[in-house]
């Protein structure tokens, strides 16, 4: 859902007078850490689909390391608009994943049969079925969002993350002078 959120934020910002060129002014530091975290998670899923045995034993370490990289990137970019929400959403996701041996629990009652059987067979390095023994169930992928082209399940963390991404893109596409109006500072101590 993150890609859809970024696309909508881009469109809404354009309609509100924002310009893509202003995104160049947003100062991201060490963005490669986020890319590496994403690639680690994609690689983990790919290895699980291929049936590599180390995935079931090592997924928690790889998945947690990817979050370590992500949290480091968030910390380095804390002042970027929307980053605090990205951090909080990521923290919620991290907590449920860490509590469930490196897997994000997913509601199975809405999944298509092929995806359900794939998760039941352990063919995902990052997601697993929500079961009676699942910890922190309320933080898993349990919120159903009916999109016209697919069934989508999200966690509370993912929703907060999406709001942060929306805010980051929307604010980033505004000129720096209009971004300053969002800063609340005490300018004059006299009445």
The whole model's pTM is what? 0.85
Q: What whole-number distance in Å separates Cα of residue 91 and Cα of residue 74?
A: 11
Q: Where are the domains of the chain?
A: 2-180
Please give the backbone phi and psi of residue 51, each rounded to the nearest 5 degrees, phi first.
80, 20
Burial class (CB in 10 A: 0-12, 13-18, 19+), 118: middle
Are 17 and 170 spatial neighbours (Cβ–Cβ below 8 Å)? no
**pLDDT in tens for each of the 191 residues of the chain?**
778 888 999 999 999 998 988 888 888 899 999 999 999 999 999 998 888 888 878 889 999 999 999 999 999 999 999 999 999 999 999 999 999 999 999 999 988 888 899 898 888 889 999 999 999 999 999 999 888 887 789 999 999 999 999 999 999 998 865 444 344 444 455 44
pLDDT of residue 186: 46
pLDDT of residue 170: 93
């Amino acid at each position: 859902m993150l890609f859809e959120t970024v696309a909508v934020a881009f469109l809404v910002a354009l309609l509100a007078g924002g310009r893509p060129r202003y995104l160049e002014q947003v100062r991201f530091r060490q963005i490669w850490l986020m890319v590496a975290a994403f690639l680690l998670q994609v690689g983990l899923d790919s290895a699980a689909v291929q049936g590599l045995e180390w995935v079931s034993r090592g997924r928690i370490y790889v998945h947690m390391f990817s979050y370590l990289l992500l949290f480091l990137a968030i910390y380095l970019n804390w002042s970027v608009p929307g980053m605090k929400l990205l951090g909080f959403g990521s923290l919620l996701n991290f907590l449920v994943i860490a509590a469930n041996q490196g897997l994000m629990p997913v509601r199975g009652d809405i999944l298509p049969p092929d995806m359900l059987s794939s998760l039941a067979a352990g063919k995902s390095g990052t997601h697993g079925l929500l079961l009676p023994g699942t910890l922190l169930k309320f933080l898993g992928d349990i919120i159903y969002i009916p999109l016209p082209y697919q069934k989508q399940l999200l966690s509370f963390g993912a929703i907060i993350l999406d709001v942060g991404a929306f805010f980051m893109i929307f604010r980033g596409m505004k000129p720096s002078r209009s971004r300053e109006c969002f800063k609340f500072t005490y300018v004059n101590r006299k009445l």
